[in-house]
Structure 1
Amino acid sequence: MDVNRERLAASFTELCEIDSPSRREGRISRHLQQVFRELGATEIVEDDSAGRTGSESGNLIIRFAGALECTPIFFSCHMDTVQPAEGVRVKRSGDLFTSEGDTVLGSDDKSGLAACIEAMRVLRENNRPYRPVEFVITTCEEIGLVGAKALEPALVRAREGYALDSSGFARVITHAPAANRLTITVTGVAAHAGLHPEWGVSALILAARALARVPSGRIDEETTANFGTISGGAASNIVPEKAVIEGEVRSHSMAKLERVTGEIREIFTATVAAWTDPTGSAKGTPAVDVAVRQDFPVMQLEREEPVLRRVEAAARSIGMTLTYERAGGGSDANIFNGNGLATAIVATGMTNVHSTKEQVELQDMVDLTRLLLALLTESSC
């Protein structure tokens, strides 16, 4: 079965030029539903997540029954893109695709979507039997995996699948860290900074003292911590009453994740508790609140698991050599794995993502389509 290179290129270009920044996925959702309907989808489900995500669309679950008696699988992509993503125009130079202007290209994740569409077109025109398959297409991935978090896992009937969403090519991501999101609020006491500074307690100074002591950056080979934003204060002549710090801890080890998170909490708590009033004039005492929520769970797949053995066999059947790697970021695959759906991440060829220098090669999308066809046909049953 031959992949139609120019049809794939045209489909990819069309997808990229449909603006779909996070929460504004209505047009791309309608387009995808129409395309898969024309390809003979057995069932198209749009879930009710839009009310929770704020998107114009729910997540899509598109089912094809298939004729082979093989284990059902799913492929997952997200339909949203990061900004700037208004008025995308694709520039093609030979077989290299970039953005024509000052926007992202959108190959994250429309390179994956284009390969899914082309794979089903090839199967249809060759009248080739294939295994049962679902395409799980989420909203709001780029703003915190919001669509995947809102997806009811029972809507996905296949128990194993592949998230087509990583840079590079012929890479399979088997491990990704869990992450805790931290919101740390230090509360002090406001006072006029010129008239009565001794009446105040500076929340910013206390926050700075704690930040100077907490672990940050790369902690070890499995663990990182970062504090990304700090806000607070009302004016330069007011002792700042509040400072809010947003941060995160990530680790491939749940024990390390909790240990580093706990250490940060302890340092902020101890720093505030150690405050003293040098003049005895302060109109109150400081406090701190450390709110922690799990952003996404850990992803850990071992090489002997069926989802990895299957993609290895499929790649071998088309002469492709895969590499297996750990990632430092989270994706929808973290959420799916956390919900009991064994999901490996497969790279699509995109590079320089989340920037206006984003690009992808046509050959990489062709080879990704070939891998999907191998996964869908008897070579990997």
Structure 2
Amino acid sequence: MIPFILGSPPGGQTLPEECLKCVFSSVEGLCAGEPCVPWARFSDWLECVCVVTFDLELGQAIELVYPHDVKLTEKEKTSICYLSFPDSYSGCLGDTQFSFRLRQSVGRVSGSWFGEEDKYNRDAPLILQKELAHFYGYVYFRQVKDVSVKRGYFQKSLVLVSRLPYVQLFQSLLQSIAPEYFEKLEPCLEAVCNEIDQWPPPVPGQTLNLPVMGIVMQVRIPSKDDKPGGSPTRQGQKENLLPAPTVLPTIHELDLFNTYECVPGVHIHLALCKAVVIIAYGKIYWFLFCFFSSISPLKYCCDFRPYFTIHDSEFKEYTTRTQAPPNVILGVTNPFFIKTFQKTKIILCGLNDSFSLQHYT
């Protein structure tokens, strides 16, 4: 119980009744164990949501960050801007989804997730633990013709920034909210963020119902105590949910089969933590996350970037010729990297959304 003393303000005036109600309701919330920090439940899942647009004068620029009080450094904002748009020229119109991983700025406060009370990371499998030094970005990019825009095209990305490697969950979430956001803009995004702020925290071993935009996603958070080969989904307590929940079989695993068939031998290099650049003109991030799932419960111990561009803040670090290349996996879509890394990396080129072997050194 938190001690609380009400005293008269200076001048002998009494507090207005509305203030007293506010104070007592706050104390009751604390006593009931409700989060007392704004957006506490939201931050269990996401760091923030960003909208990145193309500005004719500035280039790629962040149009909106939600919640508004989230503090991103200028370096982080710049990285998110460049990583949220396709790096290679694409004349394809429509919607594209991909994911990236970026290094946090030095000195950033990581929050209570990484203190002694970090129960999530203690109970989660190694590959699903929250990141201490990196953010994941989950992107929904739209490019369509628009005569009302000077450039002739509407180009915008909705980005979910998180410390959690829940690639399947967040990409599924984007499929639900992004098309609606592009139609209704900020009010829609605000409503979605408020719904996420009501979600229960991700607890390893529990099955959760996550309502958003009129649907309910049912997911199970894996635990380090799960048996290999066990069923990824388990029904929780029976509830009369309306609408009926959409069950996601997994929050992080992607289709492994095509990856194994199309890239024989590459897994050996990755398992040995050798420096690798993988070039594909489609879902490059897909291959990397598939690989990490395939070696579970082990965790890949070196650095990796599912989507890397020439504007990345680590570009110079990775391309310097004065020292051996770092042990890092880079997923890229720009053919420029074939020349840049031809003497120092293993290069794999793929075609379109498949990973057909074209050139391998």
Larger radius of gyration: 1
Q: TM-score under structure 2 normalisation?
A: 0.21
Q: Which has the higher contact order (CA 8 A, sep 6+)?
A: 1
Q: TM-score, normalised by structure 1?
A: 0.21
Higher fraction of strand? 1
